[in-house]
Amino acid sequence: MRPDWVTISSLATAGGTLVLAIATFSAVRSANRAARTAERNLQVGLRPVLFQSRRDDPTQKIRWADNHWAHVDGGQASVESVDGVVYLAMSLRNVGSGIAVIQAWRGGPEELSSRMTRPTLDDFSAQTRDLYVPAGDSSFWQAAIREPDDPHRVSVLEGIEAGSLMIDVLYSDHEGGQRTISRFSNIRSSSEESTWLCSVVRHWYLDRRDPR
């Protein structure tokens, strides 16, 4: 019986095509994995994470546009009401590896941990200027409530009156990505009424899965 070379040739071609397709698929999948790994490594290198500053961090000297000044020690916040204007500030430390750009904030009374839900972006007020916190270093956050009808005035004053003020800070890396909301608890000191102690209590990621 003579071999059917046409059939053999067709089968050989089909087999070669299949092997090439498998090799191409494997190469593309491997390249995609490598690209995702490279992207994750890049994001880690840019990722900021804000905490309260350490107690031994330098005192932050903070100025508002109306020439009001505050000095905030490490691990503390400043809460003042002067002539109807509420001045708020916190000493922060960036424990991440990328620059943090603070973009917006919201405030109110402390919430129970069992009731904490991620706030909506519509509740935030934009910063009048970007605030930068260098990677591995300390800096500050600041805001002021000037208008009687400011959407945060009532809730912030409630928190101040209770001696337990919550501040949510919205920030990103320096390219505007990896947006994060960090919630800070500011508690009035029982020994000194003008002293507020600051600590971070929750982080929410907006552009990737939350850490919990």
pLDDT in tens, 53-98: 999 999 999 999 999 999 999 999 999 999 999 999 999 999 999 9
Query: Is the predicted pLDDT of residue 127 greater than 70, yes or no?
Result: yes
Nearest to 171, CA basis, from 92, 111, 109: 92
Question: Which position has the higher pLDDT, 211 or 138?
Answer: 138
CA distance 104 to 140: 13
For 162-199, what is each residue's pLDDT tens digit?
999 999 999 999 999 999 999 999 999 987 778 999 99
Q: Which pLDDT belongs to residue 34?
A: 47
Q: Where are the domains of the chain?
A: 1-46, 50-205
CA distance 31 to 85: 56
Contact 166, 99 (CB under 8 A): no
CA distance 36 to 45: 14
Identify the burial level of 2 via C-beta atoms within 10 angstroms of its C-beta, where 0-12 means exposed, 13-18 middle and 19 or more buried.
exposed
* Domain 50-205, classified CATH 2.60.40, yes or no: yes
Instruction: For 196-206, give one letter per residue: b (16+ CB within 10 A) or e.
Output: bebebebbbee
Q: Which pLDDT belongs to residue 6?
A: 61
Q: Which pLDDT belongs to residue 30?
A: 53
Q: Which pLDDT belongs to residue 38?
A: 43
For 200-212, what is each residue's pLDDT tens digit?
999 999 988 776 6
CA distance 154 to 87: 14
Q: Which two tokens stand for residue 39?
A: 């992207």
Q: Which pLDDT belongs to residue 212?
A: 67
Q: What are the residues whose beta carbons fall under 8 Å from the beta carbon of 101, sequence distance 6 or more?
A: 48, 130, 131, 132, 171, 172, 173, 174, 176
Q: How confident is the model at residue 140 (pLDDT cuts 50, 70, 90)?
A: very high
Q: Which two tokens stand for residue 69?
A: 């000044």
Q: Three-state DSSP class for 86? A: strand
Q: Which pLDDT belongs to residue 154?
A: 96
Contact 200, 184 (CB under 8 A): yes
Q: Which two tokens stand for residue 134?
A: 């260098």
